[in-house]
Amino acid sequence: MDPAGVFSTSFTKDQALIRTRPQAVCLALFIVALFALPMFSDIRIVAVLTSMMITAVVVVGLQINTGLAGQVNLGQAAFMGAGAYSTAVLASKLGLPFWIALPMGGMCAAVFGLIFGLAAVRIKGFYLALTTIAAQILFHFLVLNLPNSWLGGSNGLALEPASLFGFTFDSDISLYYLCLVVALIMIAGAYGVARSRHGRIFAAVRDDDVASGMMGIHVVRTKALAFLLGAFYAGIGGGLWAYYVRFVAIDQFTLIHSIWFIAMIIVGGMGSVTGALIGVFVIRLMQEIITSIGPSLVQNVSFLTGDVVFAAMSIFLGGVIAGFLIFEPRGLMHRWNIIKRSYRIWPYPY
């Protein structure tokens, strides 16, 4: 930090993701730590982090759609499922390699999202949320009612492990590195979108679509593009999930999952890619902790049953989300920005 404070001499510097040398060093050390983690961690931790990275790709896409562009989306799990099923079909039935099946699965999900994006561009709020729920319902209807030879119906679809240049990703550690590389690429792309011309257009439409249209912004195209990008990210996350578990089923992509994705960007902070990542980490960590202590509570407390513990866990997590909506609706990222600004002007009050 400069002695006179933090300031920028150009718009490019002001929008830069890494603005100081300490930030660059910290980011480099963090990425190195992520690559070195499997060498020193338990397999259980590696599996949880792999799941977090897949979820992060999906939630970052939702942040572009909902946080940046202001388009409420309760169908992100359906778009994730579309990507997972598309990837599974392309890989298992058509025999396409991983490096083709994964991006094509993302594009199939993007087309599915664009269909609902075009249908929802002239509505907002509650009605937009209902329209995206329709995507969830339609996805389930198609999977369960199309011939089983296509998508497997209620039996699901299995696929072989991903392979690239003769190397097969069939272990927890190799899948961790695969998901890490893809997640870093997708997250870097999301930061680029947020700081680009399109990101500023998304924010303008989110804040006031009528005024944006009067200023010459093509509002319909912008909203459709937001759905396209958000669904593409969900499709890539779904494809990674398909290769990770090597089996896709309809119950992996429900409305409850879509609600949890929304909860993650609420907790982390709407409109911030970093906030989306923080929200994923916090919510998934809480879910893992509660899931870990649940069985021991049932064993050690005689009057508790599995159903009671499960209900209590759901109530607790729901209460956390409600607490953020009431007391800190702008999420943890907003609180971090307050702390950062207070540090910069210390010893003067913020």
pLDDT per residue as tens digits for the range 179-235: 999 999 999 999 999 988 999 999 999 998 889 989 999 998 999 999 999 999 999
Has residue 107 been placed in a domain? yes
Of 302, 143, 166, which Cα lies nearest the Cα of 238?
A: 143
Q: Do the strands 247-248 and 157-158 form a parallel or antiparallel pair, or are they unpaired?
A: antiparallel
Residue 188 lies inside a defined structural domain of this protein: yes
Distance in Å from the first CA to the final CA of the chain: 18
Across residues 273-279, what is the average pLDDT? 94
Q: Is the pLDDT of residue 294 over 80?
A: no
Please name the residue that has the structure tokens 């700081």.
Answer: 195
Count of domains forming the chain: 1
Quick one: pLDDT band at residue 2, thresholds 50, 70, 90?
A: low
Q: Each residue of 133-167: pLDDT tens digit?
A: 999 999 999 999 988 888 888 888 988 988 888 88
Task: Answer whether residue 338 is part of any domain.
Answer: no
Domain-embedded: residue 217: yes
Task: Answer whether residue 294 is part of any domain.
Answer: no
Q: At what angle do helices 172-194 and 21-36 cross, to 10 degrees?
A: 150
Q: Is residue 46, in this structure, part of any structural domain at all?
A: yes
Distance between CA atoms of 109 and 297, rounded to whole angstroms?
A: 41
Residue with tokens 């980011």: 27
How confident is the model over 85-134, as pLDDT tens digits? 999 999 988 889 999 999 999 999 999 999 888 877 778 878 888 889 99
For 275-278, the CB contacts below 8 A with 24+ separation are 275/63, 275/67, 275/331, 275/332, 275/333, 276/56, 276/59, 276/60, 276/62, 276/63, 276/67, 277/56, 277/59, 277/60, 277/187, 278/331, 278/332, 278/333
Cβ(116)–Cβ(82) below 8 Å = no
**Side chain identity at 342, as an amino acid letter?**
S
Q: CB-hemisphere CA count at 13 Å for 79?
A: 37
- Structure confidence by residue, pLDDT tens digits, 59-74: 999 999 999 998 989 9
Contact criterion met (CB below 8 Å) for 275 and 59: no
Q: Report if residue 198 sits inside a domain.
A: yes
Domain of residue 221: give its range. Answer: 18-252
Q: Are 66 and 269 in contact, with CB atoms under 8 Å apart? A: no
Distance (Å, rounded) from C-alpha 80 to C-alpha 236?
Answer: 7
Taking CA atoms, 144 is separated from 88, 151, 258, in Å, by: 16, 8, 19
Residue 120 lies in a domain: yes
